[in-house]
Structure 1
Amino acid sequence: MTVFVCAGCGASLTGALSQVALPVHAHQQYGHELLPPLLEPGTYAVDPQPFGPPWLRWEEIGSEEAEARGVYAPVYSLSYGPSGAVAVAPGDIRGTVVIPERCDGLCCGLDGRDGPNLACARCGRAVATLIDDCSYWQVVWLDPRAVRPLDAGAPAPRALAWEELLKEQRELPLVERIGAWNPVWVAAIGVALAHLLAVSNGTRVAVSTGPVADVFRSALDALLPPGPPVKSLALAGPGLHGPAPDIALVPLHPRTGDMWSSGAGASVPLPADVWMYLAFNRNRRLHPASGGLPHDVYRDDRPPPLPSIPFRPDRELFLDTLARLPEVRQPWLRAIYDRVEDRRLVFPF
């Protein structure tokens, strides 16, 4: 376990935390309501990409410098803040005070536009950025230049083996109880779609009827050229058996971030809880029957309501992911990037 302390005075800034993989929706903006915390209590994640101000426009950077920073297609702006920012649940923060002059936001809270807005309560050093505005996942980003990790003296939870994860990992439903698309799914499919296009080589992809088709087929049909399917797409991972497809949708380990090794020609990662739902959910929940029916007899409850709009992957995360894949330099994929980046295009985003 790890405790983060102020690099200036050594004051504790968090409780004891264990590291997990950075969620794919860490930088998602979704809807116009307050979203829950990004991370579970007692955990932290590290963002390898630069985070926060200053921001430079594409015109100021140029393609050569952008490629040196791992961006291969034009974006509005790039962060020139530090890499390695540490994401923490707001409830795990200790010993900080708000910096009043940096409390800007768009609507209901803080969005971090002015950089670190939390200071060490002991020495006043700016140490973190709290984000809790509507449309953002609630999180505190510790500035890696202002904090340092210390061993908390307790062992971190063991990373489960894949077979154990099948029993312990919860499934994340595609539809929320209120009848809206789950924003984590919107983010996860947007990121996965970028990787899927990159490994398709611009050829048609066959998707079997079912949950995978529900979230991928319309976008693939809209973005890839017409013609007979050339490559197959299917789920692969622990607990599944069958011939390896050309492109496998595989789970990411929620603690280590490691991707399941599928043996397929190409693999596309999905968060484990999203993958679990696609792999094993039958879209119906069976409950023990009541009212005197025999033991082990089950009733079939109605499925939850479906949203009133079609499923759409997260457009901004799709573009951000695709811009950071070297394959986007290929003319056919760059053409797709430019089409989706054009805000006049509505479908499929």
Structure 2
Amino acid sequence: MVVFACTACGAVITAKVARVALPDHSSQKYGHGLLPNLLEPGTYAVDPGNGRPWQAWEPEPEEHRVRSQMYRITGPPNRIGIAPGDVRGTVFIPERLGGCCCGWDGQYGPNLACATCGCPVATRVDDCGFWQVVWLEPDAVRPVAVAGPVQQVMDWEELPSMPPADPRDCWSAPWEAAVAVALAHLLPASDGKRVSVPDGLVATAFRRVIDGLLPAGPPERHLALAGPGLSTGITDIALVPRHPQTGEVWPCDAGTVVPLASDVWTYLAFHDDRRLVPAARGMPAEVRRDDSPPLLPTALFRPDGRVFLRALEQLAPIRQPWLRRIYDRVKDRPYMHPFS
């Protein structure tokens, strides 16, 4: 485990934290209500940043740069995200707290300073529509190894599962982000050819967008679920889980693998119809539950168009003309079909 200390004076400004993979919805802005924490207490994740491998960001005047970062919901490369409750020894910078609604969105740059030396060290984001997080500035802090419990890495068979509907019976925002990121990896794997998708919830999440982005015609590539607990088979494109702690992608013999957030993948693969962690006095394995599964929202599933664009920007294959045309089309209309 580590704590993060101020680079300038060495003061510790976080609790003990262990690294996990960056959630797919880290760059998501969703609705107008207050959202929960992006990360669990006691964990941290590193955001590699939002850079286009095929061209530099468009030049923009200095006075617009910080505000445009807010709309992209990005910051400097390799910023470190932690839960707000894991911050220690910091104070707010009053002149950088304006222009918000229900909280702070970080549009004016770092708004937390080291309480010991006064150097800006982090940005707290907790405004409506933003996942609550504190982003540590990568040049302003440094990790310090400390004694603590060894992080237990869960087995693949223990992967968590997340239902696709939120308490309001709307599609889950993390689902919309996770599927959007998987779609960004699926497009290069398709080579621009139509992809067949298995029926069921996988089709609900992926088929409409695939059909809307790829050319019409009979399918030439085939997508199938692969991962722990599923029979091994050979397919063109395998939709596999990405470990929530290590970020490792499930290895398989498919022609191409497309990673998907593990909690979404587990629900797609098993519809939450298994007990992931053995429990004392639990129901026998051979007995099936007789209660009905949770109902799905009646609205069409819509992956997050902005998250899709940001994920696609990170991939080198975007240099291919056909993929760049898709990117430009979605960028011009991120909330139109097939993301509507």
TM (normalized to structure 2)?
Answer: 0.86
Higher mean C-alpha displacement, 261-270 vs 75-84: 75-84
CA distance in 2, matches of 1:205, 1:190: 16
Asked whether the equivalents of residues 49 and 75 of structure 2 are also in contact (C-alpha less than 8 Å), the reply is no
Specify which of 160, 164, 173 is matched with residue 174 of structure 1.
Answer: 164
Q: What RMSD, in angstroms, separates the aligned Cα atoms of the two structures?
A: 2.6
What's 1:186 paired with? 176
What's 1:127 paired with? 121
CA distance in 2, matches of 1:128, 1:307: 38
Q: Which structure 1 residue ranges, 5 or more long, are not aligned?
A: 62-74, 286-295
Aligned pairs, how many?
Answer: 318
Residues 12 and 221 (structure 1), Cα distance of their counterparts in 2 relative to 1, 3 Å cut: same
Q: How does 1:68-87 map to 2 (within 5 A)?
A: 82-87=76-81
CA distance in 1, matches of 2:274, 2:338: 27
1:104 CA displacement: 2.7
Residues 80 and 14 (structure 1), Cα distance of their counterparts in 2 relative to 1, 3 Å cut: closer
Residues 105 and 182 (structure 1), Cα distance of their counterparts in 2 relative to 1, 3 Å cut: farther
Please state if 1:142 is matched with 2:136. Answer: yes
Please state if 1:36 is matched with 2:26. Answer: no
Deviations 1:98-122 (Å, cap 9, x if unpaired)? Answer: 1100013442111111111001112
1:193 CA displacement: 0.6
Residues 35 and 76 (structure 1), Cα distance of their counterparts in 2 relative to 1, 3 Å cut: closer
What's 1:88 paired with? 82
CA distance in 2, matches of 1:298, 1:280: 13
Specify which of 319, 338, 341 is matched with residue 331 of structure 2.
Answer: 341
Residues 218 and 87 (structure 1), Cα distance of their counterparts in 2 relative to 1, 3 Å cut: same
What's 1:5 paired with? 5
SS at the partner of 1:185? helix
Amino acid in structure 1 at the alignment position of 2:7: A
What's 1:17 paired with? 17
Specify which of 255, 258, 275 is matched with residue 248 of structure 2.
Answer: 258
What's 2:212 paired with? 222
Residues 114 and 202 (structure 1), Cα distance of their counterparts in 2 relative to 1, 3 Å cut: same
CA distance in 2, matches of 1:185, 1:344: 17
Amino acid in structure 2 at the alignment position of 1:87: G
CA distance in 1, matches of 2:308, 2:74: 21
Residues 297 and 326 (structure 1), Cα distance of their counterparts in 2 relative to 1, 3 Å cut: closer
Residues 93 and 202 (structure 1), Cα distance of their counterparts in 2 relative to 1, 3 Å cut: same
1:329 CA displacement: 2.1
Residues 313 and 2 (structure 1), Cα distance of their counterparts in 2 relative to 1, 3 Å cut: same
CA distance in 2, matches of 1:336, 1:301: 43
Asked whether the equivalents of residues 106 and 123 of structure 2 are also in contact (C-alpha less than 8 Å), the reply is yes
Deviations 1:111-138 (Å, cap 9, x if unpaired)? Answer: 1111110011122111100000111100
CA distance in 1, matches of 2:123, 2:295: 38
Please state if 1:315 is matched with 2:305. Answer: yes
Asked whether the equivalents of residues 233 and 246 of structure 1 are also in contact (C-alpha less than 8 Å), the reply is yes
Asked whether the equivalents of residues 58 and 78 of structure 1 are also in contact (C-alpha less than 8 Å), the reply is no
SS at the partner of 1:259? coil
Identity of aligned residues (%): 54
Q: Which structure 2 residue ranges, 5 or more long, are not aligned?
A: 62-68, 276-285
Deviations 1:21-59 (Å, cap 9, x if unpaired)? Answer: 1111111111111110000010011112269xxxx9614
1:170 CA displacement: 1.8
Q: How does 1:239-250 map to 2 (within 5 A)?
A: 239-250=229-240
Asked whether the equivalents of residues 284 and 303 of structure 1 are also in contact (C-alpha less than 8 Å), the reply is no
Asked whether the equivalents of residues 179 and 304 of structure 1 are also in contact (C-alpha less than 8 Å), the reply is no
